[in-house]
Amino acid sequence: MSEIRKVVLAYSGGLDTSVILQWLQDTYRCEVVTFTADIGQGEELEPARRKAQKFGVRQIYIDDLREEFVRDFVFPMFRANTVYEGEYLLGTSIARPLIAKRQIEIAREVGADAVSHGATGKGNDQVRFELGYYALEPNIRVIAPWREWDLNSREKLLAYAESHGIPVEMKHKNGGSPYSMDANLLHISFEGKVLEDPAREPEADMWRWTVAPEQAPDQPRYLDLTFSQGDAVAIDGQVLSPAALLAELNRLGGEHGIGRLDLVENRFVGMKSRGCYETPGGTLLLKAHRAIESLTLDREVAHLKDDLMPRYAALIYNGYWWSPERRALQVLINHTQKTVNGWVRLKLYKGSVTVVGRESDSDSLFDPAIATFEDDQGAYQQADAAGFIRLNALRMRIAARLQKVR
């Protein structure tokens, strides 16, 4: 272990990574550089700096990555209308490749031999972090303490923290440990406690960003979302940066009880897990993006995107953001978005979001002269449909005749 001289730790300042910080120093006798990413988790990050300083860390990185996160990771993912297993908007999954990228950049800057993370050996995040590390720096050494140490219970972890003077801030108002939570500008997730029983309803006070739909305002809220080449750029005509736009959508969606999800999902490592998610802004964004695409995308291009989306979603969920196949798919997806321009009007009401209008001045493929139920002045020859139908029915007619012979 003596060959490790310096390691960059993805550090939140919470119990687990604070214990890991001390454990790395004790076990590897190496210098630890801490890296804390601000991706919109909504927490004060300076306490993480103070904790790191307390334990002798000399190089402390606290980086504001909010704009990069939304612009270069969330928005490209939403151009594909990405949903995992029909429901999950991949809030945790999409943050990991950015954290891995910045961690590797810091390792290069400081000349570190290794990187370390606080993901457990049961979850997806260990895979996401490490696939990112290796894709970006193939010879990097990875230290995953949860796979190495013997602190394999909460009691042992707390005892280690107490013996080393590590502050423990994990009291829950109802007693016991809090939920395991992960937050960023796209979502907040919850695992553990009563959620470990899939039959039990989540506690009402668990939710942080969204009001209960039945407690949402009695009047609907309408908003217009403007798109340019597949990305949302303005709300009600006000142009906003990617991070500011997503934060405002989170606020609006949360006020109207939109974006809650209770899901049993299939982890990459093979087990099923139950998690709850709040993704108010992402829920609005997905609804609006599909609406503007319905107006501006060719039918077969739209259907091709829908065919590819589950594969694309699985790549992100399983940690393959930096893979050549994800990058190749992204080129195709980005190409389809050149004509995805216009605005969409959404109606927010008590947990639901409805598309009530959409328009594209320059790229709409909707032709009212052809689609009208009134006199189309010869724009569409209805008699042409007879031959079209007979040709499409040909194989079925042949099969039906064969069945009659038998």
Tell me what pLDDT residue 392 has: 96
| Whole-number average pLDDT of the chain | 94
Share of the chain above pLDDT 90, in %: 84
Sequence-separated (6 or more) residues with CB below 8 Å from residue 142: 114, 115, 116, 117, 130, 133, 134
DSSP-assigned letters across all residues of 115-145 = EE----TTSSHHHHHHHHHHHH-TT-EEE-G
Share of the chain above pLDDT 70, in %: 97
Please give the Cα distance from 236 to 174 (Å, whole number).
Answer: 41
Give the residues across from 84 on adjacent strands. Answer: 88
Please give the Cα distance from 337 to 329 (Å, whole number).
Answer: 13
Q: Which of 259, 247, 253, 244 is nearest to 220 (CA)?
A: 253
Written in H, E and C, the secondary structure of 216-237 is CCCCCEEEEEEEECCEEEEECC
pLDDT band at 169 (very low <50, low <70, confident <90, very high): low
pLDDT digits (tens, 9 = 90+) for 267-278: 999 999 999 999
Tell me what pLDDT residue 231 has: 98
Domains detected in the chain: 6-66+89-163 (3.40.50.620), 180-359 (3.90.1260.10), 379-405 (no CATH)
The yes-or-no verdict on residue 101 having pLDDT over 60 is yes
> With contact defined as beta carbons under 8 Å apart, do 30 and 5 qualify?
yes
Given strand 188-191, what is the order of strands in its sheet?
180-183, 188-191, 272-278, 260-266
Q: Which of 243, 175, 183 is nearest to 207 (CA)?
A: 183
Phi, psi for residue 209 in degrees, rounded to 5:
-100, -25
Give the residues across from 35 on adjacent strands. Answer: 10, 61
- Mean pLDDT of the 65-92 span: 98
Q: What's the full length of the chain, in residues?
A: 406
> With contact defined as beta carbons under 8 Å apart, do 210 and 259 qualify?
yes
What's the farthest any 2 CA atoms get from each other in the chain? 87
Q: What is the dihedral of CA 38, 41, 44, 48, to 10 degrees?
A: -60
Tell me what pLDDT residue 172 has: 44
The yes-or-no verdict on residue 176 having pLDDT over 70 is no
The yes-or-no verdict on residue 340 having pLDDT over 80 is yes
The yes-or-no verdict on residue 35 having pLDDT over 70 is yes
Give the residues across from 260 on adjacent strands. Answer: 278
pLDDT band at 167 (very low <50, low <70, confident <90, very high): confident
The yes-or-no verdict on residue 171 having pLDDT over 60 is no
Please give the Cα distance from 107 to 289 (Å, whole number).
Answer: 37
Q: Which of 324, 326, 318 is nearest to 90 (CA)?
A: 318
- CA 155 to each of CA 168, 190, 280: distance values in angstroms, whole numbers, following the listed order: 12, 21, 36
With the C-alpha atoms ordered 23, 26, 28, 34, is the resulting torsion angle positive or negative?
A: positive
DSSP-assigned letters across all residues of 61-119 = EEEE-HHHHIIIIIHHHHHTT--BTTTB--TTTTTHHHHHHHHHHHHHHHT-SEEE---
Buried-exposed string 299-335: b where 16+ CB fall within 10 A, e elsewhere:
eeebeebeeebeebbebbbbbbbbeeebeebbeebee
The catalytic residues are 16, 96, 125, 180
- Higher local confidence (pLDDT), 94 or 373: 94
**Token pair in block for residue 358:** 């959409």
Sequence-separated (6 or more) residues with CB below 8 Å from residue 111: 6
pLDDT band at 44 (very low <50, low <70, confident <90, very high): confident
The yes-or-no verdict on residue 174 having pLDDT over 80 is no
